[in-house]
């Protein structure tokens, strides 16, 4: 490959025996992609058409499902092409764009979970004030902030990375992520400092807020009646499960870029299965959503 090609394209080096298992990979990836799109779209559709689901909690769940759909569309189409191609390559500019989309959406999940924690706190601890505090305008502002704040942080990181000189053109992964830092000839102090600021603002602060909020919820519900405790358990446990899943992936993605490792297969499982977790947990654990899913399938069988 000539110099012009090397400086323009990045090669994905995370596929394991791609020539041997090409069609098996393709079938598995297509199946997983279809499941993610169908399950998340079903959650969004049910929340959209049923009036009793037009509450802040369900709107935030719909936002998480929309994130999962967008995240999958940012990754899977390129994987389909790569699996069927002889060379798994991507232009550096497109790589930066994919990196921006994936991390903006992934980090906004944490922000949305923080907003959901606030909504649960108000709903459980201040039920009479909930309709006044969580108005439509408030929900809109909170959602826009959850999407825009991570996107703005990522935009700065991408802008600072765009002009960096590259000394390596092989990325150990199957999609573009913060391993892009390893391709740069010299590490940037500005990028490192801003990276710490970004992680603090869009990961650490939201996580601390979530933990603080749920600690208050647990403290208050412990002293409350049984029905209050039941309501808290029904709505908070699914959120905590999603939080654990998102946090684990975020920690893994942050750590893997700092160490030399060949965990591509693990990363494949960690990142690509994540969008399927949300609808499964919310579909099974949220009583109202599960009721509508059951009713939908029953009506299909009757037809």
Q: What is the pLDDT of residues 171-218, one digit of tens each?
A: 878 888 888 888 888 888 888 899 889 989 998 999 999 999 988 888
CB distance 29 to 76 below 8 Å: yes
pLDDT band at 256 (very low <50, low <70, confident <90, very high): low
| pLDDT of the residue at 258 | 56
Find the length of the chain.
Answer: 303
Residue 124's CB: how many other CB atoms inside 10 A?
20
Q: What is the mean pLDDT of the chain?
A: 83
Mean pLDDT of 115-144: 90
| pLDDT of the residue at 49 | 92
DSSP 8-state assignment for residue 128: T
Per the structure block, which two tokens stand in for 193? Answer: 């400092």
Residue 81's CB: how many other CB atoms inside 10 A?
12
Residue 144 confidence (pLDDT) above 90: yes
| pLDDT of the residue at 282 | 80
CB distance 41 to 59 below 8 Å: no
Distance CA 25, CA 229 (A): 45
Residue 267 confidence (pLDDT) above 60: no
CB distance 86 to 60 below 8 Å: no
Detail the DSSP E strand segments found in 27-140.
89-91
With 0-12 / 13-18 / 19 or more C-beta atoms within 10 angstroms meaning exposed / middle / buried, residue 87 is exposed
| pLDDT of the residue at 302 | 55
Q: What is the CATH number of domain 9-291?
A: 1.20.1070.10
| Domain limits, the chain | 9-291
- pLDDT tens, residue by residue, 29-88: 999 999 999 999 999 999 999 888 899 989 999 999 999 999 999 999 999 999 888 888
Picking from 39, 45, 71, the residue whose alpha carbon sits closest to that of residue 58 is: 45
Residue 101: strand, helix, or coil: helix
CB distance 60 to 110 below 8 Å: no
H or E element at residue 192: helix 189-199
Q: For the chain, what percentages of helix, strand and coil (3-state, to nearest 5) are there?
A: 80, 5, 20
Picking from 227, 216, 40, 52, the residue whose alpha carbon sits closest to that of residue 118 is: 216
Q: Cα dihedral sign for 283, 288, 294, 295?
A: negative
């Amino acid at each position: 490959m000539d110099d012009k090609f090397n400086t323009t394209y990045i090669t994905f080096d995370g596929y394991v025996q791609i020539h041997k298992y090409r069609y098996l990979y393709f079938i598995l990836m297509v199946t997983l992609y279809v499941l993610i799109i169908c399950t998340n779209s079903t959650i969004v559709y049910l929340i959209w058409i049923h009036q009793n689901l037009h509450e802040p909690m369900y709107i935030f769940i719909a936002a998480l499902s929309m994130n999962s759909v967008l995240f999958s569309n940012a990754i899977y189409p390129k994987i389909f092409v790569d699996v069927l191609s002889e060379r798994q390559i991507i232009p550096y500019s497109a790589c930066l764009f994919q990196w921006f989309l994936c991390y903006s959406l992934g980090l906004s999940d944490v922000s949305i979970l923080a907003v959901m924690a606030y909504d649960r706190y108000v709903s459980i601890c201040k039920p009479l004030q909930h309709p006044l505090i969580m108005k439509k305008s408030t929900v809109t502002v909170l959602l826009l902030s959850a999407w825009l704040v991570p996107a703005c942080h990522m935009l700065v990181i991408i802008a600072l990375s765009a002009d960096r000189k590259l000394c390596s053109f092989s990325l150990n992964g199957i999609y573009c992520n913060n391993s892009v830092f390893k391709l740069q000839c010299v590490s940037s102090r500005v990028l490192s400092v801003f990276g710490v600021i970004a992680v603090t603002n869009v990961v650490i602060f939201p996580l601390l807020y979530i933990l603080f909020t749920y600690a208050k919820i647990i403290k208050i519900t412990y002293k409350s009646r049984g029905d209050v405790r039941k309501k808290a358990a029904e709505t908070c446990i699914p959120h905590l499960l999603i939080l654990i899943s998102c946090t684990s992936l975020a920690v893994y993605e942050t750590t893997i870029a700092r160490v030399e490792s060949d965990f591509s297969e693990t990363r494949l499982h960690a990142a690509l299965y994540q969008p399927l977790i949300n609808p499964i947990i919310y579909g099974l654990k949220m009583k109202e959503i599960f009721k509508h899913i059951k009713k939908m399938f029953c009506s299909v069988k009757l037809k």
